C-alpha cells in the first residue's frame, strides 16, 4: 500500500467539497493539470509535470489519474486510487508533434462524461497548453469546455490540522536555513557556496523531519541585483557594503513555508535602517488586521498606510496564500494582500506576508509566513524579525 500523507478520511472529505463547486458551475466533469491540485485530491506526487498529465473528476466514483504510462507506476505508489482508475498513455505520444496526448485523454473523457458534457479545464495555469486545448476541442466537438482555473485551489484555502502540522515542520526547516546564512555568510564567500549550504540545510530538515524540495529556488541577489525581485545566484563573492536578501522556503511533504530576511555586510547606510524601521512598523500594523472576519485587503491597507506615513511606498501586493505547491510557484494562486481583495479571512488560512521593498541600490525583504487562528494569527517562524547586520 502507498504511504499516503493524509488519512483516507481526509482525502474522502475533499471530494464532496470539490464536487459541490462543480455542481454550482454546472460542470459534468473536471480535468485538472495543476500538480498541487492533483496531489491534494489523490495524493499523486511525482516530478512528471513536464509531460501532459492530470486528474479527471466526475460526480461519482474515484477520481481518475491520467498521464504517461511509465508514470502510472508512480501513481500506484503515491495515490489511494484503484489500479483501474490509473490510466497511462503510450510513450509514442510524448513530445511528438504528430501525436498529441490529448487525443488519448479525449477517449478517457468520452468514457466517463456525457457526449454533450460541460467539462471544466484549468485554462490559465502553467501545465496546460494552448495546443492541449485546441486538440481537446477538436477531438470532442460536442463537448463544452469552461474555464475552471482555481476551482480546486479555492477548496484548499482552509487548511486541516495535518496540513498546518506539515507547514510548521517546514517552518522549522526555513528557520534553520536562515540560521545557516547568519552563521556562514562572510565577505569574500562565493554566493554559490553559501547557497549549497542553504540547500543542504533545506534537505536535511529540522527537528527530525526531512526536507522536501522547495517549489522555488533560493532568490539571493546582492547589491544592484537586489533592486530586482527574482534573481538567483552566481559565483560572485559577497562584498562589504552590500545587502543580500534571501527569499527561501522550507518544505515538508510538499507543504511550503517561505520566509525572507536581508543580510548587510558592514555598516548599513541610514536609509536601510530607516527602511527596516518602516517595514517593521508596517508589518505590525498589517498583522493587527490578521484575524477571522477581516478581509485580505484590510492587511494591505493597514500595512501601506503605515509604510507611506514613514516615507516609503510599495506598489505590489504584500502577501498571498501558501500551502501545498510544486514548481514553479510556492503560492496557491488564490488570495492576495492588496486593495480590492475582499476575501474574508478564516481560521486555518495560511499566507506569506511579503512586505518587500526594492530600493535604488538594493533590496530589503523581511517577511513572515502566518496562519489565521480562532482569534488572530500565528507567525509560523521564530526567525528574528530584523535586518541581519554582520561586520
- Write the DSSP string, 13-70: HHHHHHHHHHHHTT-SEEEE--HHHHHHHH----S-TTS--EEEE-SSS--EEEEEHH
Q: Is residue 3 part of a domain?
A: no
The residue out of 138, 155, 172 marking a domain boundary is: 155
User: How many structural domains does the chain have?
Assistant: 2
Among residues 216, 245, 214, 250, the alpha carbon closest in space to that of 228 is found at 245
Domain-located, residue 382: yes
The DSSP annotation for 16-31 comes to HHHHHHHHHTT-SEEE
* CA 285 – CA 129 distance, rounded (Å): 42
Can you give the pTM of this predicted structure? 0.96
* Residue 257 · residue 167 · CB < 8 Å: yes
Domain final position from 122, 140, 155: 155
Same domain, 319 and 174: yes
- Cβ atoms within 10 Å, residue 309: 12
> Which of 124, 155, 186 is where one domain is finished?
155
Q: Specify whether 94 is located in the same domain as 224.
A: no
Q: Are 297 and 340 part of one and the same domain? A: yes
> For 163-193, how does the pLDDT look when each residue is reduced to its tens digit (9 = 90+)?
999 999 999 999 999 999 999 999 999 999 9
Rounded Cα distance between 17 and 35, Å, is 18
- Cα–Cα distance for residue pair 140/367, rounded to 1 Å: 47
For residue 258, give the H/E element and its range.
strand 255-265
Nearest to 367 by CA among 101, 178, 134, 149: 178
What span, in angstroms and rounded, lies between the C-alpha atoms of 164 and 377?
A: 13
Strand (E) positions, 114-155?
118-121, 144-147
pLDDT in tens, the chain (391 residues): 788 999 999 999 999 999 999 999 999 999 999 999 999 999 999 999 999 999 999 999 999 999 999 999 999 999 999 999 999 999 999 999 999 999 999 999 999 999 999 999 999 999 999 999 999 999 999 999 999 999 999 999 999 999 999 999 999 999 999 999 999 999 999 999 999 999 999 999 999 999 999 999 999 999 999 999 999 999 999 999 999 999 999 999 999 999 999 999 999 999 999 999 999 999 999 999 999 999 999 999 999 999 999 999 999 999 999 999 999 999 999 999 999 999 999 999 999 999 999 888 889 999 999 999 999 999 999 999 999 999 8
With respect to residue 1, please indicate whether it lies within any of the assigned structural domains: no
Q: Specify whether 101 is located in the same domain as 238.
A: no
Q: Which domain holds residue 15?
A: 8-155
Q: Which residue has the cell 488519512?
A: 7
Place of cell 515542520: 169
* Whether residues 207 and 176 fall in one domain: yes
Indicate whether 61 and 98 sit together in one domain. yes
Query: Taking Cα atoms as reference points, which of 265, 233, 268 lies closest to residue 247?
Result: 233
Rounded-to-integer distance, Cα 107 and Cα 87, Å: 11
Same domain, 51 and 112: yes
Amino acid at each position: 500500500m502507498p504511504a499516503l500523507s493524509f488519512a483516507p478520511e481526509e482525502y474522502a472529505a475533499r471530494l464532496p467539497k470539490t464536487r459541490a463547486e462543480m455542481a454550482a458551475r454546472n460542470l459534468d466533469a473536471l480535468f485538472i493539470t495543476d500538480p498541487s491540485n492533483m496531489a491534494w485530491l489523490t495524493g499523486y506526487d511525482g516530478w512528471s509535470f513536464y509531460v501532459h498529465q492530470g486528474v479527471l473528476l466526475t460526480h461519482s466514483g474515484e477520481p481518475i489519474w491520467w498521464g504517461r504510462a511509465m508514470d502510472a507506476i508512480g501513481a500506484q505508489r503515491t495515490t489511494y486510487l484503484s489500479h483501474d482508475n490509473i490510466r497511462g498513455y503510450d510513450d509514442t505520444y510524448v513530445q511528438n508533434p504528430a501525436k498529441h496526448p490529448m487525443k488519448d485523454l479525449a477517449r478517457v473523457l468520452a468514457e466517463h462524461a456525457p457526449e454533450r458534457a460541460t467539462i471544466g479545464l484549468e485554462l490559465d495555469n502553467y501545465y496546460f497548453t494552448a495546443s492541449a486545448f485546441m486538440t481537446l476541442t477538436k477531438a470532442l466537438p460536442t463537448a463544452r469546455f469552461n474555464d475552471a482555473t482555481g476551482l480546486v485551489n479555492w477548496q484548499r484555502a482552509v487548511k486541516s490540522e495535518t496540513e498546518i502540522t506539515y507547514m510548521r515542520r517546514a517552518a522549522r526547516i526555513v528557520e534553520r536555513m536562515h540560521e545557516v546564512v547568519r552563521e556562514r555568510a562572510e565577505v569574500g564567500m562565493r554566493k554559490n557556496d553559501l547557497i549549497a549550504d542553504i540547500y543542504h540545510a533545506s534537505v536535511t530538515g529540522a527537528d527530525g523531519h526531512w526536507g522536501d524540495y522547495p517549489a522555488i529556488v533560493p532568490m539571493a541577489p546582492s547589491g544592484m541585483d537586489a533592486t530586482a525581485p527574482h534573481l538567483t545566484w552566481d559565483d560572485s563573492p559577497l562584498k562589504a557594503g552590500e545587502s543580500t536578501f534571501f527569499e527561501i522556503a522550507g518544505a515538508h511533504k510538499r507543504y511550503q513555508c517561505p520566509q525572507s530576511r536581508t543580510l548587510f555586510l558592514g555598516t548599513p547606510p541610514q536609509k536601510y535602517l530607516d527602511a527596516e524601521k518602516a517595514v517593521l512598523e508596517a508589518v505590525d500594523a498589517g498583522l493587527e488586521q490578521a484575524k477571522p472576519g477581516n478581509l485580505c485587503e484590510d492587511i494591505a491597507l493597514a500595512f501601506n498606510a503605515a509604510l507611506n506615513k514613514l516615507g516609503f511606498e510599495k506598489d505590489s501586493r504584500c502577501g498571498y496564500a501558501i500551502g501545498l505547491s510544486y514548481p514553479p510557484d510556492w503560492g496557491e494562486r488564490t488570495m492576495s494582500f492588496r486593495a480590492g481583495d475582499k476575501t474574508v479571512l478564516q481560521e486555518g488560512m495560511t499566507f506569506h506576508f511579503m512586505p518587500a521593498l526594492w530600493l535604488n541600490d538594493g533590496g530589503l525583504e523581511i517577511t513572515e509566513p502566518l496562519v489565521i487562528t480562532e482569534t488572530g494569527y500565528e507567525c509560523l517562524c521564530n526567525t528574528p524579525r530584523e535586518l541581519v547586520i554582520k561586520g
